[in-house]
Amino acid sequence: MLGTTTRSLLVIAPHGDDEALGAGALIAKCELLKVPAHVVIVATDASNHYGLARPTTLEERLAEIEDSARILGFTFEVLFAGRDKLERLDTLPLRELVDAIERIVDARAPDIVVLPHGDDYDQDHVACFRAGHAALRPMPAGTGKHLVRAVLTYEMPKLAWALQPFRPTIYLAADAGLLERKCAAIEAYRSQVRPEPHIRSVANVRRLAALRGAEIGSEFAEAYHALRWVL
């Protein structure tokens, strides 16, 4: 998947921590290969969370994203910060999200884009998938629109509650070092990480990585579903 001809990776993350949960090992691998990785955090805000006794602040959430970026080695931008769009991205006109993602894709011309999976109970993830899917539609050369050659969706532990099971078609074989960096980035989201038996616990992330690794004869792996793959 990654090689000397890969120029850059773009990750669409509805919220801060989705990039680490879904694509943390891939981003860390890009950093090792000196392939630039850029993350678009679509929305972040102050909020109340199940399992956390106090509200989070916008400043706290932004600091967590910065910590994750340092651990994994990515640059990032936030589209909607402090605008009360957390868990409300489905209330935005879809065209607004499509235009925002399209502008970034055309400006950065990445080789690989990874999106949240479309079959998700979280309306923000569904909205981001739908917008990304539309923004990444194929157009002929010469139109001024960049064709991304590899478009993938990433797996989240919470997709165990999806109506349809996640079906991997692409795997990133990960060693213990990549997994540890992924887990460290998840733990950087101090307001979001939860102890067992929470499905988003770091222990469960490790179990999922071991399961996906066993499917390809590797110690650990991160799983993706390919929407487009141009050889």
| Residue 5, number of CB atoms within 10 A of its CB | 7
Tell me, what's the pLDDT at 4?
A: 64
Integer distance in angstroms from the first to the last C-alpha of the chain? 10
Nearest CA to 61 out of 75, 49, 74 is that of 49
| Three-class DSSP category at 162 | coil
Domain ranges within the chain, ordered by starting residue: 9-229
Whether residue 15 is predicted with pLDDT greater than 70 in this model: the reply is yes
Could you report the per-residue pLDDT of 202-222, keeping only the tens digit for each? 999 999 999 999 999 999 999
pLDDT above 70: residue 165: yes
Taking a C-beta distance cutoff of 8 angstroms, is the pair 116, 18 a contact? yes
- Average pLDDT for the chain: 95
Give dist(CA 83, CA 46) in Å, integer. 10
Helix (H) or strand (E) holding 173: strand 170-174
Cα 85 from chain centroid (whole Å): 18
Enumerate residues 6+ apart whose C-beta is below 8 A from 43: 14, 15, 78, 79, 80, 81, 83, 85, 86, 88, 89, 124
**Buried/exposed code over 79-89 (b: 16+ C-beta within 10 A; e: otherwise):** bbbbeebbeeb
DSSP per position, 53-120: SS-B-HHHHHHHHHHHHHHHT-EEEEEEESSS-TT-GGGS-HHHHHHHHHHHHHHH--SEEEEE-SS-
With 0-12 / 13-18 / 19 or more C-beta atoms within 10 angstroms meaning exposed / middle / buried, residue 228 is middle
Pairing of strands 150-154, 220-229: antiparallel
- pLDDT for 52 equals 77
b/e per residue 26-59 (b: at least 16 CB within 10 A): bbbbbbeeebbbbbbbbbbbebeeeeeeeebebe
- CATH 3.40.50.10320, applies to 9-229: yes
- Per-residue pLDDT reduced to its tens digit, 64-117: 999 999 999 999 999 999 999 989 999 999 999 999 999 999 999 999 999 999
* pLDDT (0 to 100) of residue 116: 98
DSSP conformation class of 47: B
